[in-house]
């Protein structure tokens, strides 16, 4: 008689096994992805399967529930403790093959399940964290055998899980004996990289969590993830307390330069904030911080160094040498984090002195290196990090956009916060503006707007509003392609007013009065020209005249309207359907590195292969910058955009302004080059 044939769905793997082989054992031998923490003891319930019923002619199998052994005492005990199994499910470790069977492995019984992501442009995340839980039963000590408790635990992991020669730090060795005895010689062990114990609990433990962190100059965001499902179980963000040492990172570097030892204060500030943040998300999820088994971190180069406790002074001036750029694995306790006894922090690699682990996170999240299409990734802040390329090659640079896109150096500018104007439209005929403010969904000309904004007021204009108003002013003819607020338009609308030798456009009367002045337009021109020139420099280097996809990352990238951004000439022309926001892609990168061990080596290799371009010493950057001062551009064509808008841009000369702009840019570079 031949052995029973078993077919696993959805993997499609099949094989014959002797009668009495458990479904779990058959799955393991075939390499079918079927979970188990308890190792087949019927305790964890992770190996649930369904036995198919019916005839499967294509497979040559007739399957039925009684083609595996009947319910046994172990399953009865499981159900009495944990509640009934869904539908006709069985525990794979208990159901043993009697005859041919088709076995379905539901997604929640798979170890390496996929986390499906919203955007179709990016791949799903395969769950395969660097830390795995293993339940083991350890031999009791015996006078005849002097093997230590730790050696017998090692043996149990080797024999029961094929995880040999694990090591343990003092923090684990200290609690080992009590834990083994508390669990009556059954414990669950969290093992990192199949070689080092991270945590140990008495009895069976199924919960495993990790933290993905984005340390931004302004805010620190943390996402607590279930390492089994990939789900974010709690998120929180706090202001980066380093702000008291300087609004932008460069001023924090200045603080360190002026105050020897100041880096220790900055380091303590960010670590303290992170510790509180971790405690807060853990609490929200009903966990203790000691339940956190690992953390991943993205940050810009200066925040990266300050978090590590490395003096960032070298990043404050040429040649902007990083102390360290590779991915780092560091015990969490070195950061004062009271996570699991031997939890580690993984810090993603930095790309260059101006292009940090946050950009590496964006690259990991968006995966341009996996695609044929040439993608332009832009992360906009006071510095713009720009990555261009596809599976053949990736290039990266940073460009000093300055604070205009965050509302800085703009007369009525402010940070994005309730009360800030974030959307603007200007009627092409009446030249009257209407706008929306953060905190309300109403346009300013809709009924109820005043009531809706009574709480916040209308306090200023934030980055996305600035981009829109200037794009709208161009479309309405209120500014020239050279960026001059056109005084002649005062004849058509009282909102154009004289402002000394220049003119301004009044968006809102009242307190505060909100207007766009000539200098605001200049500041935005300088910022957008820097960004555009950086992108064009990379395109030259890559050898393409156009890009296939543009993705804007970061909080700012999420809020700007891509059409207005392109009208302004912030980014090159592209099919508008392929221009989009990736949201907090850096944070997503941290989350991927948390959930998938291989992603760490992957991003390290990708980053090592990225060709870095230093805009400050590239002669052609200057030429690109001059051309990009015009709105949308002095010479570059925008065919996709013009088609979408149904218009043709006028081209003007911007020589004068470009020269002026270059001077301003140089001044800022001195202050901001290292951000």
Which stretches of the chain bind a copy of itself, using CB under 8 A?
141-151, 168-170, 173-174, 176-178, 308-311, 313-314, 318-326, 330, 334, 350-353, 355, 612, 614, 616-617
Nearest-approach distance from CB 312 to a copy of itself, in angstroms: 10
Whole-angstrom CA distances from 39 to 44, 70, 91, 275, 320 are 9, 20, 12, 35, 51
Between 468 and 604, CB nearer to a copy of itself: 604
Contact 122, 191 (CB under 8 A): no
Q: How far is residue 661's CA from residue 435's CA, in Å, rounded to a whole number? A: 29
441 HSE (CA, 13 A, CB side): 0
Secondary structure element (H or E) that encloses residue 176, with its range: helix 170-182
Between 146 and 447, CB nearer to a copy of itself: 146
Question: Six-digit token pair at 77?
Answer: 């005990």
Q: How far is residue 598's CA from residue 596's CA, in Å, rounded to a whole number? A: 6
578 DSSP β-pair partners = none
Contact 111, 128 (CB under 8 A): yes
Between 319 and 500, CB nearer to a copy of itself: 319
Strands 344-347 and 292-299: parallel
Residues in contact with 234: Cβ distance below 8 Å, sequence separation at least 6, in sequence order: 223, 224, 281, 282, 284, 285
Distance of CA 376 to the CA centre of its chain: 17
Between 297 and 404, CB nearer to a copy of itself: 297
Between 43 and 176, CB nearer to a copy of itself: 176
Between 29 and 195, CB nearer to a copy of itself: 195
Helix 518-542 and helix 655-672, axial crossing angle in degrees, nearest 10: 80
Nearest-approach distance from CB 362 to a copy of itself, in angstroms: 17
Between 160 and 313, CB nearer to a copy of itself: 313
Report which of 562, 587, 598, 605 is spatially closest to residue 117, judged by C-alpha positions.
587
Between 185 and 245, CB nearer to a copy of itself: 185
Contact 436, 422 (CB under 8 A): yes
In the chain, DSSP finds a helix count (H) and a strand count (E) of: 18, 30
Whole-angstrom CA distances from 204 to 38, 185, 195, 295, 660 are 7, 11, 20, 23, 69
Between 175 and 233, CB nearer to a copy of itself: 175
Between 226 and 314, CB nearer to a copy of itself: 314
Nearest-approach distance from CB 323 to a copy of itself, in angstroms: 5
The backbone torsions φ and ψ at residue 182, rounded to the nearest 5 degrees and listed phi first, read: -65, -35
Between 345 and 568, CB nearer to a copy of itself: 345
Between 396 and 531, CB nearer to a copy of itself: 396
Question: Six-digit token pair at 656?
Answer: 């004068």
Kindly report the number of other CB atoms within 10 A of residue 112's CB atom: 10
Between 298 and 574, CB nearer to a copy of itself: 298
- Alpha helices for 596-654 (secondary structure H): 597-609, 619-628, 639-645
Q: How far is residue 283's CA from residue 288's CA, in Å, rounded to a whole number? A: 6
Exposed e or buried b per residue across 273-297, where buried means at least 16 C-beta atoms within 10 angstroms of its C-beta: bbbebbbbbbeebebebebbbbbbb
Q: How far is residue 446's CA from residue 270's CA, in Å, rounded to a whole number? A: 43
Q: How far is residue 497's CA from residue 426's CA, in Å, rounded to a whole number? A: 16
Between 168 and 292, CB nearer to a copy of itself: 168
Nearest-approach distance from CB 34 to a copy of itself, in angstroms: 34
Distance of CA 231 to the CA centre of its chain: 14
3-state secondary structure of 485: strand
Nearest-approach distance from CB 666 to a copy of itself, in angstroms: 16
Whole-angstrom CA distances from 426 to 476, 480, 524, 652 are 7, 15, 18, 22
Residues in contact with 58: Cβ distance below 8 Å, sequence separation at least 6, in sequence order: none
Between 275 and 651, CB nearer to a copy of itself: 275
Nearest-approach distance from CB 485 to a copy of itself, in angstroms: 38
Question: Six-digit token pair at 570?
Answer: 């912030």
Nearest-approach distance from CB 612 to a copy of itself, in angstroms: 4
End-to-end, the C-alpha distance of the chain in Å comes to: 73
């Amino acid at each position: 008689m031949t052995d029973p044939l078993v077919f696993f769905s959805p993997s499609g793997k099949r094989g014959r096994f002797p009668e009495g082989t458990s479904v779990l054992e058959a799955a393991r031998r075939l390499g079918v992805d079927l979970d188990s923490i308890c190792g087949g003891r019927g305790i964890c319930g992770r190996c649930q399967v369904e036995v198919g019923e019916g005839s499967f002619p294509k497979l040559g199998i007739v399957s039925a529930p009684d083609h595996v052994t009947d319910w046994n005492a172990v399953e009865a005990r499981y159900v009495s403790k944990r509640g009934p199994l869904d539908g006709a499910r069985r525990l794979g470790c208990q159901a043993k093959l009697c005859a041919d069977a088709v076995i379905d492995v539901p997604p929640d019984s798979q170890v390496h399940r996929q986390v499906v992501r919203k955007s179709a442009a990016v791949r799903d995340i395969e769950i395969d964290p660097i830390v795995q839980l293993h339940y083991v039963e350890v031999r009791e000590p015996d006078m005849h055998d002097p093997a230590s408790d730790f050696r017998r635990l090692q043996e149990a992991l080797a024999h029961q899980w094929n995880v040999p020669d694990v090591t343990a730090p003092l923090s684990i060795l200290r609690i080992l004996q009590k834990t083994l005895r508390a669990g009556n010689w059954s414990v669950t062990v969290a093992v990192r990289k199949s070689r080092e114990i991270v945590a140990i609990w008495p009895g069976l433990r199924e919960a495993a969590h990790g933290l993905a962190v984005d340390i931004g100059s302004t805010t620190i965001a943390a996402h607590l993830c279930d390492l089994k499902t990939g789900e974010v179980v709690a998120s929180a963000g706090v202001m980066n307390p380093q702000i008291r040492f300087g609004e932008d990172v460069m001023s924090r570097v200045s603080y360190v330069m002026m105050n020897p030892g100041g880096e220790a204060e900055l380091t303590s500030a960010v670590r303290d904030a992170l510790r509180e943040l971790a405690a807060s998300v853990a609490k929200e999820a009903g966990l203790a911080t000691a339940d956190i088994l690992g953390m991943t971190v993205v940050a810009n180069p200066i925040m990266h160094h300050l978090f590590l406790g490395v003096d960032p002074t070298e990043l404050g001036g040429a040649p902007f040498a990083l102390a360290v750029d590779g991915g780092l694995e560091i015990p969490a306790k070195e950061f004062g984090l009271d996570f699991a006894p031997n939890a580690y922090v993984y810090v993603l690699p930095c790309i260059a002195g101006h292009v940090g682990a946050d950009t590496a996170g964006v690259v990991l999240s968006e995966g341009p290196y996996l695609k044929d299409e040439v993608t332009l990734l832009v992360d906009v802040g006071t510095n713009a990090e720009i990555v261009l390329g596809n599976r053949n090659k990736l290039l990266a640079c940073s460009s000093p956009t300055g604070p205009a896109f965050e509302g800085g150096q703009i007369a009525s500018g402010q940070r994005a916060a309730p009360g800030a104007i974030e959307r603007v439209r200007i009627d092409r005929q009446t030249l009257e503006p209407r706008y929306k403010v953060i905190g309300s969904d109403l346009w300013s000309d809709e009924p109820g707007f005043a009531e809706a904004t009574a709480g916040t007021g209308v306090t200023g204009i934030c980055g996305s509003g600035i981009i829109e108003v200037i794009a709208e002013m161009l479309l309405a003819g209120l500014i020239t392609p050279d960026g001059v607020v056109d005084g002649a338009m005062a004849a058509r609308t009282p909102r154009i007013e004289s402002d000394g030798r220049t003119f301004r456009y009044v968006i809102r009367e009242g307190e505060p009065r909100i207007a766009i002045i000539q200098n605001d337009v200049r500041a935005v021109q300088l910022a957008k020209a820097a960004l555009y020139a950086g992108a064009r420099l990379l395109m030259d280097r890559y050898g393409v005249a156009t890009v296939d996809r543009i993705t804007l990352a970061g909080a700012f990238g999420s809020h700007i309207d891509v059409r207005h951004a392109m009208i302004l000439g912030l980014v090159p022309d592209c099919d508008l359907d392929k221009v989009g926001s990736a949201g907090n892609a850096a944070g997503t990168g941290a989350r991927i590195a948390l959930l998938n061990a291989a992603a760490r080596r992957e991003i390290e290799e990708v980053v090592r292969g990225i060709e870095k371009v230093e805009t400050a010493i590239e002669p052609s950057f200057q030429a690109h910058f001059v051309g990009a001062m015009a709105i949308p551009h002095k010479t570059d064509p925008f065919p996709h955009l013009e088609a979408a808008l149904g218009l043709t841009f006028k081209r003007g000369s911007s020589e004068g302004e470009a020269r002026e702009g270059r001077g301003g840019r140089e001044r800022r570079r001195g202050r901001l080059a290292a951000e």
